[in-house]
Structure 1
Amino acid sequence: MYAAERQHWLLTRTREDGRVDVASVAQELDVTPETIRRDLGTLERQGLVRRVHGGAIPADRLDFEPALGQRDTLASQEKERIAKAALAELEGCLTVLLDAGTTTARLAQTLPTDREITVVTNSLSIASILATRPNVIVRLLGGRVRGTTMATVDDWMTDTLATLTVDVAFVGTNGFSPERGLTTPDPAEAAAKRAMIAAARRTVVLADAAKYGTDQFTRFARLDQVDALVTDTDLDDDAAAAIEAAGPRVVRA
């Protein structure tokens, strides 16, 4: 494959999936990661993509969201490790708030079975996972359902959250950085996440390292508004130090 063909393929993949991961596409195309980085650099100079930690996103689509099924296949091993590491943040908690997302859904699947827990969520998928668990009381937040994320949003959801206090909220994010904090493409989902943080005694953000530096359209929190960030080992030491300097404790799984 010639360089121009490869760059066209990379641009198409970036626009379809919302991002590309250097290591993954290098393996798929049977080229070195350095080759992919050079190609992405060329595309960035043309204003077609924006380089982020470990890959790239479309430059003209900061409000782009991959569908739930697409996101579930991205960084799946990392998300499994993050979910297992996040269990340590549940110690002493009886009420838990789970944000909609593929990493929080994995946490839902691994919740302990040896004690009763009340789980509040705006995710239809998470409610379905937990509905038959005998030790879990599920309280599903109402509101408008976004088909992209299967999450409830808007006033019905945020007004209910304003009346609640939970021990810990596990919140997802589409992007995080020391400069811009926590960001997501959709303003309605951003408002939902803000309400979750306000309702929780502690807030733990679950995000794979590929989202580092991927600042999205809407900011919903500063880093100093959350207590911990659970991510994976692809987040390097310098990035982890910058995150901790901005506020939250960083756990790399």
Structure 2
Amino acid sequence: MSSLPLALRDSSTMLRRNLLHARRYPSLTLNLLLTPVMLLLLFVYVFGDVMSAGIGGGAADRSAYIAYLVPGLLLMTIASTTVGTAVSVSNDMTEGIIARFRTMAIHRGSVITGHVIGSVLQSLISVILVGAVGVAIGFRSTDATAPEWLAALGLLALFALALTWIAVGMGLVSPNAEAASNNALPLIFLPLISSTFVPVDAMPGWFQPVAEYQPFTPAIETLRGLLLGSEIGHNGWLAVAWCLALTALGRLWSKRVYNRDSK
């Protein structure tokens, strides 16, 4: 069998393995999914009135802040889900299953490819679930057209792919699952210092460049523009550039570590 059909066959097998593993052991995904859901409910129902007034909405009307918050929480959901990917990859590396796969006649990169595709699918499912919670508490995107919805979905998938490759690299270099979870914490920390919860121009002047040009803020502002009709400006190409750069970096890093450890 030629290389490409072999890679496709083995990658699909590894994808099925990862999806079955996620279905049989859903606690990790659910625990990671709980963080953005709890933050969504906390900021809407505890801080919603004050936050809505701060961004120009009425103090008694949380709808303005719900609309502002949900796009950022969707991207934070992706970050939370990919932490589980780092843990899963680390488990495979430390429990000996990778060594067993290497003794079998399967395509070398299929194990990592299965993790990546499975993680992207799980991230998108998690985004749908958090988005459903957002809709249930009042989020609406009435002005978005079908192409804008498709562009938003494409951005979410591209962002999930980028963070997944970084998470795979973190999982490969971690000595155990606990270390992988700790190493991946910056993926959850970065949304907290982005425009997820408050506009960048409301932050201290010295901190604004950090918040504005890190990966999450351009993606969040682009998603808000697509779903809510706000100005996207330069954030669109910045978001795509960050996604492509992180994907390339994560893939190169993961491939190098994986091949080094297989020698």
Higher radius of gyration, 1 or 2: 2
Q: Which structure dedicates a bigger proportion of its chain to strand?
A: 1
Q: TM-score range by the shorter chain?
A: under 0.3
TM-score by length of 1: 0.23
Larger RCO (alpha carbons 8 Å, 6+ apart):
2
TM-score by length of 2: 0.23
Q: Which structure dedicates a bigger proportion of its chain to helix?
A: 2
